[in-house]
Each structure stands twice: as structure tokens, then as C-alpha cells.
Amino acid sequence: IENALQNTKTEISALVNRNEEERTQAQRDLERARLSDRELLSREIAEVRRELPRIGRLEEAIDLRAAEDDRLSELVMAVRNQLGGLAKEIEERTRQIPFLSEQRTSDTKRIAQLQQETVELFRRIEAVSGRIPVLEESVRKTGSEVEKIPPTVDVLRDEQHEFMEEIRVMTS
């Protein structure tokens, strides 16, 4: 009986030791997995931190482009107003030319002067109207670039929130 008891004790002791070794091994494996997860999370956090300044620069660029867009819009409106005034002025001056041709020689000098002014006005109109397509193209490009940026910012914010939720869940 004593031998049987001794054998049973030995078997139980061996089972307990084996269970203890298995538990210790499982705990080491769990620690390795946790360490690996922490390293992965640390890398992901570092990557998010690297992206944060870029988001700030993008938001600043959006603000600058919006201000530039406003400025260009005002400039285009001012140029359009000037064109209207210049067109009226040209029309008024060219209407007067036939009446002046019937007057004396002094009137001929005045006609030449008016023609020079008309040429100058046409040059000014050409100079101004040459800028309009460039300004409109710039406004269009700025608008399309600004439209591309907000979705990128929203996606980055969503990914950041998801990432923070994952971290919160893992640490809980």
C-alpha cells in the first residue's frame, strides 16, 4: 500500500510539475505575444505621429488656398467691372469719330488723339483679358486641389479613431 501511495504521490508530483512547466511556457508565450503586439502598436503610433504634422500642413495649405481663391475671385470681378467700363468708353469714343471728321483741321488732330487713346484702351483690354483665362484656370486648379484634400484628412482621422479604439480595447 505504501508503495502504491508513493507511486501515486510521484505521479501527482510529476503531473503538478508538468502542469507548472506548461503554465510557465504558456505565460512566456503570452508575454512574447504581448511584447510583439506592443512593438507593432508602437510602430503604428510612431507612423501616425509622423503623419500628424503633414495633416497640419495640409490644413494650412487649404486655408491659404481658400484665401488665395477669394483674392483671385475678387480680382476677376474687378477686372470684369473694368472691362465693362472700358467697353463703354471705347464705344463712346468711337461713336464720336465720324462727327469729328467733318470739323476743321484742329478737329483732325483731336481724332488722331482719340484714335491713339482707343488703341491704348484696346491694348489695356487685351492685357486685362489675357489675364482672365489664366486667373480662371488658377481658380479652377485651386478648387480641384482643395476638393482632393478634405477626403484625405477625413480618412486619416477615421483611421486614427479606429486605431485609438483598438488600443483602448487592447489595454482594457
Tens digits of per-residue pLDDT, 15-27?
A: 999 999 999 999 9
Q: Given phi > 0 = left and psi -120 to 50 = alpha, else beta, which region is 66? A: alpha
CA distance 24 to 18: 10
Q: pLDDT band at 93, cuts 50/70/90? A: confident
What is the CB-side half-sphere exposure of residue 86 using CA atoms within 13 A?
Answer: 19
The torsion angles phi and psi of 135, rounded to 5 degrees, stand at -65, -45
Q: What pLDDT score was predicted for residue 46?
A: 93
Estimate the share of the chain in helix, then strand, then coil, as percent rounded to the nearest 5.
Answer: 95, 0, 5
Q: What pLDDT score was predicted for residue 109?
A: 81
Which distant-in-sequence residues (6+ apart) come within 8 Å of 139 by Cβ? 69, 72, 73, 76
pLDDT tens digits along 117-142: 999 988 888 877 777 788 888 888 88
Neighbours of 96 (CB within 10 A): 13
Q: Where are the domains of the chain?
A: 2-171
Helix, strand counts (H, E) of the chain:
2, 0
Q: Given phi > 0 = left and psi -120 to 50 = alpha, else beta, which region is 104? A: beta
